Structure 1
Amino acid sequence: MSDNTPSALSPFENPVAEGINGQKKKILWYLKVMQQAGLEELANTMKITRMGAHKHLADLQKRGLVEASESRTGVGRPKMIYRLSPQSKTVFPKSYASIATYSLDFIEKNMGKDGVIKMLRERQDDLFSLYYERLKNLNFGDRVKELAKIRDEEGYIAESKKNNSKGDSGHVLLEYNCPIIHIAEKHWEACRAETELFEKLLYANIETTHRAAKGDLVCRFAIKEKKDGHL
């Protein structure tokens, strides 16, 4: 992603999303990332008229995917602010969630937590091989950017930023969508395996400060390069 605008417009999976394409899909992705927006902001971002934006929003509200509330700032008429509804999370990409959740439940029942951890780490080893080919010849900063690009391509709506905290020269990876959230909510080991994968790929120390599986609006990874800097 760039300029806080979602780049990946992956197909939605829920039947309620049938017929949602073009501008409506972009509006949903924008609200997913920005959390809320007014009518004028959405119209300007989508490069459409206010009337056009209002029509799309009305349809999304009818489907139960968007909610609106009034916001008063000073004198004059209140401003309408739009947000995603709780139901909207069901229409974003969920990757292999349903099959994988069932598989992990089966493994846990028959092999215990150790079996789940083993399976997740084997999966991360496979991902490491795929990701590494795109990261191996890059410097640290570019590795973080490329990892964000890969995750964005996979439906995580990801971006990377320099960490602006005082005295911190690290980076931050943000993921605004979690395709495996139903897995992570039941099997927290999936989140730990993901962080370990990033640490290995980037050769970095990573602190996970926010997690969608714990109710946060974003998964946030604070990344600091290890001192010798070698991948």
Structure 2
Amino acid sequence: MKNIRNVAPGVSAAPETDASTRQLVARSILEHGPSTAAELAERLGLTAAAVRRHLDVLLEHGLLDAREQRIYGARGRGRPAKVFALTDKGRADFYSAYDDLAIQALTYLAETGGPDAVSQFAQSRIAAVEDRYGEILAAAGPEVTPAQALAQALSDDGYVASTRPSALGEQLCQHHCPVAHVAERFPQLCEVETETFSRLLGVHVQRLATIAHGDGVCTTHIPHHPQHHADPEVVQLTPKERPYS
């Protein structure tokens, strides 16, 4: 991952070990999406008490927010566990420092050339990436799906991507978006990226959620088989497959 400092923003570096552990907690949430304290403890090999201590500090500094975990079906005894998600401030440490400059440049481009100029810029920007990703997918072995090969290529470029099975195909999850703040203002960037995924994978993909729109993860549905655009497949998600909000 590029442009990640050793200490989470707004958190004191003393003691250094605590700051490093808090950074690991924040990064784990970035990579895996909103998480409970128990899930974080298991992933990081820490006690639940230690994780909660670090979560309290991150919450105090406005780097996380907490919400009740969504429960589908019958609810057991007791209150639902809390899920912790990165706030915009918490994500800021993982974003490029050039967001403001990029927004200003695209704003000027839109004002002088119109909205289509931004789309044309996005297509030009992604053209070289599409060629490179196409070569990676073509060279992938039979042990991985095209979506998994694409996820690895995206991860190598800093998007912290993964896949998970879906009833109707796979979900491509991007846990980090280096241009999320820019894409919030200019959704053409997300639209062009989605079109590129469709061309690379040879299927009509469907974007279900984006970090730029406030979701925890950018999630794209990839069907098992090519779809006919005249009669598109309706994606029905089970509760476990629904993207984090």
The letter for the 1-side match of 2:188 is E
Cα RMSD for the two superposed structures: 3.3
Listed one character per residue, the Cα deviations across residues 161-192 of structure 1 (whole Å, up to 9, x for unaligned) are 2322xxx2x22211222221122111111111
Tell me whether 1:11 sits opposite 2:4 in the alignment. Answer: yes
Residues of 2 paired with 1:209 and 1:50: CA distance?
32
The letter for the 1-side match of 2:41 is A
The aligned counterpart of 1:152 is 155
The letter for the 1-side match of 2:179 is I
More displaced 10-residue stretch of structure 1: 202-211 or 135-144:
135-144
Number of equivalenced pairs? 213
Q: CA deviation at 1:10?
A: 5.9
Residues of 2 paired with 1:152 and 1:204: CA distance?
21
The aligned counterpart of 2:40 is 42
Secondary structure of the structure 2 residue equivalent to 1:204: coil
Residues of 1 paired with 2:59 and 2:165: CA distance?
36
Task: Tell me: CA distance 1:105–1:52, structure 2 relative to 1, closer, same or farther (3 Å).
Answer: same
Query: Is this contact kept in 2: 1:66–1:85, CA < 8 A?
Result: yes
Q: 1:162 aligns with which of 156, 162, 165?
A: 165
Residues of 1 paired with 2:134 and 2:12: CA distance?
36
Question: Which ranges of structure 1 fall in alignment gaps of 5 or more residues?
Answer: 1-7
Identity value in percent: 23
More displaced 10-residue stretch of structure 1: 144-153 or 47-56:
47-56
Residues of 1 paired with 2:39 and 2:130: CA distance?
39
Q: CA deviation at 1:206?
A: 0.8
Listed one character per residue, the Cα deviations across residues 58-113 of structure 1 (whole Å, up to 9, x for unaligned) are 43233221345799x747xx797352353323233347533322221121121111
TM-score by length of 2: 0.71
The letter for the 2-side match of 1:11 is I
Residues of 1 paired with 2:12 and 2:152: CA distance?
27
Query: Is this contact kept in 2: 1:66–1:82, CA < 8 A?
Result: no
Question: Which ranges of structure 2 fall in alignment gaps of 5 or more residues?
Answer: 70-75, 228-245
